[in-house]
Structure 1
Amino acid sequence: MKKHLLLLSFIFVSFISYAHLGGISGIVTHQATNLPMSGVTVQLTGLGKSTVTNENGKYQFEGLVSSKYKIEFSHVGYKPQVIEVVVSDNQTQFIKMLLSDADIELSEVVVSSQRAHDQQLINSVDIKLRPITNSQEILRMVPGLFIGQHAGGGKAEQIFLRGFDLDHGTDIRLTVDGMPVNMVSHAHGQGYADLHFVIPELVQGVDFKKGPYATDKGNFTTAGWVDFRTKDALERSFVKLEAGQFDTYRAVAGIDLLGQKGKDKSQAAYIASEYSFTNSYFDNPQNFNRLNVFGKYHGHITPSTNLTFTASTFWSKWNHSGQIPDRALESGLIGFYGSIDPTEGGETSRTNANVQLVTVTPSNFVIKNQLFYSNYNFELFSNFTFFLEDSLNGDQIKQKEQRNLYGYNGSISKQAYVGKSSWTTTVGVQYRHDLTDRSELSHTKDRSVTLDPYQLGDVNELNASVYADELIQINDRFTVNAGVRLDYFRASYQDYLLQPVTRNHAADAIISPKLNFYYTFNPRVQLYLNSGKGFHSNDTRVVVPQGGKQILPGAYGSDFGVIFKPFPKMFINAAAWYLWMQQEFVYVGDAGVIEPSGKSKRQGLDLSVRYQLTKSLYADVDLSTAKPRAIGETEGMNYLPLAPVFTSTGGLSLQMQNGISGSLRYRYLANRAANEDNSIVAKGYFVGDMQLNYAKKNYNLGLSVQNLLNTKWKETQFATLSRLKNETEPVEEIHFTPGTPFFAKLSLTLFF
């Protein structure tokens, strides 16, 4: 009985003592826009206590004894701030802090245990040093990711990452402000992801992770995921004009709609537009046109709730020269930039609406709600095999669709403290519904005559999911993340080519567990072990005829890596990784579709290094090796076509106080197998680019040069069986799209 009384007395005294303790809370905002900043590190110097600001820029420390405290605020690319605060009993001091932009100092970059699971240190550095200036550079912000364009700029890029030929997005999940980019059961191929509706100058940040380790990321998250974040506000309105070789012209404008009035009320609104035209470097003029219009509002609708509304529309039309067989070039039939079928080309458009609502309740629950809608149109004319199937009219095909995409993302999370441990629990639901109208694959001639329909039907595909995620910071060094998600798919296809017209269905579900460990030795060294299951869905037109078999093949991966700073101005991220796939996708060139194949495995090493050579000069290099192989095939016959085995990118970046900045960059892709037995090889390439800028208060002059050394290179390559018009027998060999030659472009940006 005495023991119980003593325990109750101790609890009572502890409660009374805690009740007299004070606290510190506050908000961090951006000086130029006055908008809240999330992800800012806030530390109590000397106490080992730190936290990060939430989605509303707020932070809080509780249980502080009456004393004077020193608080440090830091964020990559912003000037750090240190202040002193006196805490009294029973009082919580509220501090509002403004952070301003500053030059990158790698010595200030800290490996944090607070954000072990979602640290974006590499990209936070890169986005500050290498501003995105063209649509290709958007995807190249991901270390180790390569892209190739095989339609002159109008079609989505072909993507390569971690031993994958991802085609246009089969195994990488791409989003913009949380809105999906990948299109399921697309007319051109599963996972087709066209990012050209994003205006490069509006990209604020790029979050990514390689592998299937994030609980809130679902379909296509096998090789990894990338989320592009657009700016919530413009610091200043601007107009940008560009002109370059090959009849290349571009105009971009961004207008701040609220100005100082908005800054006083912690809200922002702007509208931006982009128009591009080029005939490009091909022998047949590309006549490429692209128009983008983008608008965004971001602000507080209540003191604890942020509203973000984004609307955009995009349209593009172009001609392209298609893929060139090696023998046509070697025989002199066409030149390096020529064409077998000059009538290829396409037209596409996308209109988006995206509403995001983030609420932080008084008890620190973070509630996120997002609704999005896209209306999408696509029409593409291609000829991969020339006269293989039809020796008279040729093999040109048309791929066409009209799509409405609806979706919702919602989550609620809460961080709780137990002693020195913190627990962040997140529960979420996601919903996506794709409806296409008369998705078409047809045999055509001269881009005007339809000869024979191959496929014609409506796709109705639903993906609903729930997930739970637990992030446990056991102590100042050790963090564990565990999660699980359940995805349900229901797909139907109404086939208009069958008589009578029929609609068939398929449905399936998949569970994806995740488990990740992080150990932070100190602010310079962190080890991590990621493991998880992901998946990619198969095309509705493939799974419905099979009665739903293999609709959701799984992928199992693991990463063992280290983030460390051996020197104050050097930052390194290295990882060994493994991925096992239950089913591959194989690109079928003559039909222009994706079909499922067998099992595969990949393993490799990734290395990223960032080093500040001087106060103004920075170096970076990314290396990636991979061994991709098909499982169950004979040795020597188990290569995965076009899968990269070694890639490297890197360069030097310069940022001087007098307004001069620039970069010299390279990218290298090694030789790789183009078919299963490696008898046909896709040749590698080394290409260098240059960027030079001179900035003053109200204007910026820029010069960019792609392919600085004027290398002749094959940007995309396929092993394809084709027949030219006068050939009696078909030939399987490399078919390629030539990469850009030396291409210089000038730009002038005016700020007001």
Structure 2
Amino acid sequence: MILRSLRPFWLAILAVHSLSSMAAGIPTLQEVTVVNHSRDLIGEAESASEGTVTARQLATRPLLRPAEVLEVVPGMIVTQHSGDGKANQYFLRGFNLDHGSDFSTQVLGMPINLVTHAHGQGYMDLNFLIPELIGAIRYRKGVYDAEDGDFATAGSAKIDYRRHLDAPFAAIGLGRNGYRRLLGAGSTRLGGDWTLLGGLELMGNDGPWEQPENLRKKNAVFRLSRGDAANGVAVSLLLYKAHWVASEHVPERAIDNGEIGRYGTLSPNDGGKTRRNSLSFEWAKTGEQGFSRASVYAVDNELNLFSSPSGYISGLDGDQHEQADRRILWGGGFKQGWFLGPQWRQTELSAGIHLRQDRIGKVSLYNTVNRQRVETVREDKVDEIAAGIFVDARTQWLPWLRTNIGVRYDHLRAEATPLGGVFNGQNGGSAVAGQFSPKLGAVFGPFKLLGQTEFYANWGHGFHSNDARGATAKVNPRDGAAVQPVPLIVRAIGGELGVRASPLPGWNSSLSVWQMNLASELVFIGDEGVTEPHGASTRSGIEWSNYYSLRHGLIVDADLAISRARFREAVNGGRDVPNAVPLAASIGVAYDDAGSWFGGVRFRYLGAYPLAESGEEKSRAFWMANLKLGYRLSRQLEATLDVLNLFDKKANDIEYWGGACARSEALAGTGGCGSGGAIDGRLVHPLEPRTLRASLKFGF
């Protein structure tokens, strides 16, 4: 059985070996993961809360899920409340980002957040990432950069893949609970200085759940490129497909009273299937007078997700539903920059344009039983266009003073057409919105204080869009009750003061104090097919980030993020924003001196957060640790062991507060369960127990 399951892996090895056979020489394996060093950004950064993370820093990070690479963003928390084929849950700067509603991410120049998505606005599925192929992650927090548009309120990240590998490799990973992963990747030089990179990943996992997850994932990358990100061109084809069975979060009392085990479920056969195929083109040219950047992309995306809204049984047949989304997303951008020289105080002037269209053939919500559709709540066709234009000027006024002044204008237009649903026919129509977003920033320094030190002041406007169905709604699609449409754009205004210093050689430290005002917390609830109003909010916080690169390959990083999130007016008896994490901290130690041993250990702390607006119920704070330990047996062979949840902490990945019913309560009719009622309580999705994963990597 094992040999049979490994058959695709041997094919992958042969493909990688064939791809690399034209390359001259046989490079060593260790050159694959070390590319360059982290930059301290003094003299280059425009704020204290931006940064760049390289492949070197990622290589020694133990990861449970691909999207956890975003935890390199200081203060970012990545969790899951369902199956691992679904987009993760993200938390940053006092935001429960849900599946990405207020954090913008791009991969190879393509936007990942999906508008008007079946499962929630800004749905950001990063399960297609192959961490070993990531070359760099550049992140920014706040609304201060004119190049950032929709969803970039808490921040943004741009993820780039490598354009070549110094050595081709193949890896096989095995672990507890049916985990297996096969990965092969390599690159070869072609004529005309072109390089072709290819990668293939096959993965399966059942997880610790009493209902096996049966996750099956196929992933492929092909990248043809010449030059680099500053001067070059790249064409990338990404192919991804997955299906899985999910164990949703459940009422905690069902675990406490023994109705189900800690890793049990009340709703069988939740889960889904997804695919994402994309083709992208990137071009860049940089010279003495300026630079040019252009990108074009097309994405074919589909999701069928079966869920029980709170992981509970509300009736004898359960309350499972299906959210279906199928779309073609295309777009592109162009940016031109001019270096104006000393007569214009070394001003760098840039201007750009972004265009995007989401052609959503069908976005739907169905009531289901065991994945069989029994009722159509709503079906819609949506066509949504977003265009943005921006101008930015960065000027060095004095040796110790530079400014960044920009403005962005975004125009959104959406057309929603109802296709099905008993009450949904009255919905639909068009919605149009636009917004000017000014951006201001000033940098003071560098000064010879604590080594080299810079001070920053930033302010700006940004926004996130609302679901087009909420912006064109007239009635509740479930019962026909009248509703008010919501704005298509929600404005955000933010400000930040910060400092960045290098107290010792190799030690880079940044400290920032920030505040964000959001005009509305309106969210389209895909589980219900309606928009849920929550009102305006204010968030503020302090963040401290440290990166210390010592000699002999030792790196220490430590981050602390404290935030406060409040509604401006009381909601449901209080002003606390539910699931807004007030305290997050992490510390990591990584070691790799290119010798035999390498690895890293990371500790993460997640503070208790309010579960409801009153603040009376809170989650349980916890800390956990992950470990990666590696050994190079030879120049072409290395072994690694990942120990995830090293100390086997019994905590919860996510906690909510809300109405739910266990199966026994539905059968007995307790609290009105089984006839539309529910019992308020804590809903939890447990942290996965200690998990061991071993891997062998072969170099060619």
TM-score (norm 2): 0.87
Structure 1 position 586, deviation (Å): 4.8
Structure 1 position 378, deviation (Å): 0.2
Residue in 2 that maps onto 1:599: 536
How do 1:301-700 residues align onto structure 2 when only pairs under 5 Å count?
306-360=232-286, 364-385=289-310, 391-419=315-343, 421-447=345-371, 449-497=372-420, 503-522=428-447, 524-545=452-473, 549-586=486-523, 588=525, 591=528, 595-612=532-549, 615-633=552-570, 637-695=574-632, 696-700=634-638
Cα distance per residue 1:608-666 (max 9 Å; x no partner)? 11234553433221100011000122797100011100001112112234231111111
CA distance in 2, matches of 1:228, 1:468: 23
Structure 1 position 124, deviation (Å): 4.5
Structure 1 position 462, deviation (Å): 0.7
Structure 1 position 298, deviation (Å): 1.1
CA distance in 2, matches of 1:677, 1:579: 21
Instruction: Give the secondary structure class of the aligned counterpart of 1:123.
Output: strand
CA distance in 2, matches of 1:647, 1:115: 24
Counterpart code for 2:153:
T
Cα distance per residue 1:314-336 (max 9 Å; x no partner)? 00000011111111011110010
Structure 1 range deviating more: 435-444 or 543-552? 543-552
Residue in 2 that maps onto 1:248: 179
Aligned length: 645
CA distance in 2, matches of 1:525, 1:124: 23
Residue in 2 that maps onto 1:18: none
Instruction: Give the secondary structure class of the aligned counterpart of 2:255.
Output: helix
Structure 1 position 551, deviation (Å): 1.3
Do 2:543 and 2:559's aligned partners in 1 also have CA atoms closer than 8 Å? yes
Residue ranges of structure 2 left out of the alignment (5+ in a row): 1-22, 25-30, 475-483, 672-677
Cα distance per residue 1:200-226 (max 9 Å; x no partner)? 111000000110111011000100001
Residue in 1 that maps onto 2:166: 235
Please tell me whether residue 701 in structure 1 is matched to residue 636 in structure 2: no
Counterpart code for 2:440:
L
Cα distance per residue 1:224-275 (max 9 Å; x no partner)? 00111111111111101100111100001112132xx56xx54311111101
Cα distance per residue 1:64-97 (max 9 Å; x no partner)? xxxxxxxxxxxxxxx9xxxxxxxxxxxxxxxxxx
Residue in 1 that maps onto 2:13: none
How do 1:30-41 residues align onto structure 2 when only pairs under 5 Å count?
none
How do 1:56-67 residues align onto structure 2 when only pairs under 5 Å count?
none
Instruction: Give the secondary structure class of the aligned counterpart of 1:541.
Output: helix
Structure 1 position 365, deviation (Å): 3.4
How do 1:281-300 residues align onto structure 2 when only pairs under 5 Å count?
281-299=208-226
Do 1:322 and 1:342's aligned partners in 2 also have CA atoms closer than 8 Å? no
Q: Which has the larger radius of gyration?
A: 1
Counterpart code for 1:247:
G
- Aligned mate of 2:681, from 716, 733, 744: 733
Do 1:606 and 1:624's aligned partners in 2 also have CA atoms closer than 8 Å? yes
Counterpart code for 2:437:
S
Do 1:142 and 1:208's aligned partners in 2 also have CA atoms closer than 8 Å? yes
Instruction: Give the secondary structure class of the aligned counterpart of 1:602.
Output: strand
Q: Summarize the Cα distance change of 1:111–1:486 in structure 2 as closer, same or farther, 3 Å threshold.
A: closer
Counterpart code for 2:429:
N
| Identity, % of aligned positions | 26
Q: Summarize the Cα distance change of 1:172–1:450 in structure 2 as closer, same or farther, 3 Å threshold.
A: same
CA distance in 2, matches of 1:602, 1:117: 18
Residue ranges of structure 1 left out of the alignment (5+ in a row): 1-32, 35-78, 80-99
Q: Summarize the Cα distance change of 1:492–1:420 in structure 2 as closer, same or farther, 3 Å threshold.
A: closer
- Aligned mate of 1:175, from 81, 106, 111: 106
Cα distance per residue 1:279-324 (max 9 Å; x no partner)? 11101111110000111011159x9962210011100000011111
Structure 1 position 128, deviation (Å): 5.9
Structure 1 position 137, deviation (Å): 2.9
Structure 1 position 136, deviation (Å): 3.7
Cα distance per residue 1:460-495 (max 9 Å; x no partner)? 111011111111122333211011011001011111
Q: Summarize the Cα distance change of 1:558–1:652 in structure 2 as closer, same or farther, 3 Å threshold.
A: same
Q: Summarize the Cα distance change of 1:177–1:619 in structure 2 as closer, same or farther, 3 Å threshold.
A: same
- Aligned mate of 1:186, from 86, 106, 117: 117
Structure 1 position 356, deviation (Å): 1.1
CA distance in 2, matches of 1:136, 1:368: 27
How do 1:70-85 residues align onto structure 2 when only pairs under 5 Å count?
none
**Bigger relative contact order, structure 1 or 2, given CA contacts below 8 A and separation 6+?**
2
Q: Summarize the Cα distance change of 1:272–1:132 in structure 2 as closer, same or farther, 3 Å threshold.
A: farther
Q: Summarize the Cα distance change of 1:501–1:592 in structure 2 as closer, same or farther, 3 Å threshold.
A: closer
CA distance in 2, matches of 1:540, 1:635: 26
Instruction: Give the secondary structure class of the aligned counterpart of 2:574.
Output: coil
Structure 1 position 130, deviation (Å): 3.8
Structure 1 position 125, deviation (Å): 9.0
Q: Summarize the Cα distance change of 1:272–1:510 in structure 2 as closer, same or farther, 3 Å threshold.
A: same
Do 2:654 and 2:684's aligned partners in 1 also have CA atoms closer than 8 Å? yes
Do 2:251 and 2:311's aligned partners in 1 also have CA atoms closer than 8 Å? no
Q: Summarize the Cα distance change of 1:151–1:485 in structure 2 as closer, same or farther, 3 Å threshold.
A: same
CA distance in 2, matches of 1:142, 1:506: 34
Q: Summarize the Cα distance change of 1:242–1:545 in structure 2 as closer, same or farther, 3 Å threshold.
A: same
CA distance in 2, matches of 1:256, 1:590: 44
Structure 1 position 561, deviation (Å): 0.5
Counterpart code for 1:604:
G
CA distance in 1, matches of 2:378, 2:595: 60
Structure 1 position 131, deviation (Å): 5.2
CA distance in 1, matches of 2:344, 2:470: 52
How do 1:21-60 residues align onto structure 2 when only pairs under 5 Å count?
none
Do 1:190 and 1:539's aligned partners in 2 also have CA atoms closer than 8 Å? yes
Do 1:700 and 1:750's aligned partners in 2 also have CA atoms closer than 8 Å? yes
Q: Summarize the Cα distance change of 1:122–1:499 in structure 2 as closer, same or farther, 3 Å threshold.
A: closer
CA distance in 2, matches of 1:563, 1:120: 10
Q: Summarize the Cα distance change of 1:624–1:474 in structure 2 as closer, same or farther, 3 Å threshold.
A: same
Cα distance per residue 1:122-181 (max 9 Å; x no partner)? 634973664576504321121110011122311110000001100000100011022100
Please tell me whether residue 112 in structure 1 is matched to residue 42 in structure 2: yes
Do 1:127 and 1:205's aligned partners in 2 also have CA atoms closer than 8 Å? no
Instruction: Give the secondary structure class of the aligned counterpart of 2:149.
Output: coil
Q: Summarize the Cα distance change of 1:524–1:125 in structure 2 as closer, same or farther, 3 Å threshold.
A: farther
TM-score (norm 1): 0.81
Counterpart code for 1:732:
D
Structure 1 range deviating more: 454-463 or 611-620? 611-620
Structure 1 position 502, deviation (Å): 7.2
Structure 1 position 723, deviation (Å): 2.0
How do 1:142-181 residues align onto structure 2 when only pairs under 5 Å count?
142-181=73-112
Q: Summarize the Cα distance change of 1:285–1:529 in structure 2 as closer, same or farther, 3 Å threshold.
A: same
Cα distance per residue 1:491-543 (max 9 Å; x no partner)? 11111236978751110101111001111233610111111111000001100
Do 1:385 and 1:723's aligned partners in 2 also have CA atoms closer than 8 Å? no
CA distance in 2, matches of 1:375, 1:597: 33
Instruction: Give the secondary structure class of the aligned counterpart of 2:569.
Output: coil
- Aligned mate of 2:653, from 707, 710, 715: 715
- Aligned mate of 1:268, from 170, 195, 198: 195
Counterpart code for 1:167:
D
Do 2:427 and 2:473's aligned partners in 1 also have CA atoms closer than 8 Å? no
Counterpart code for 1:370:
S
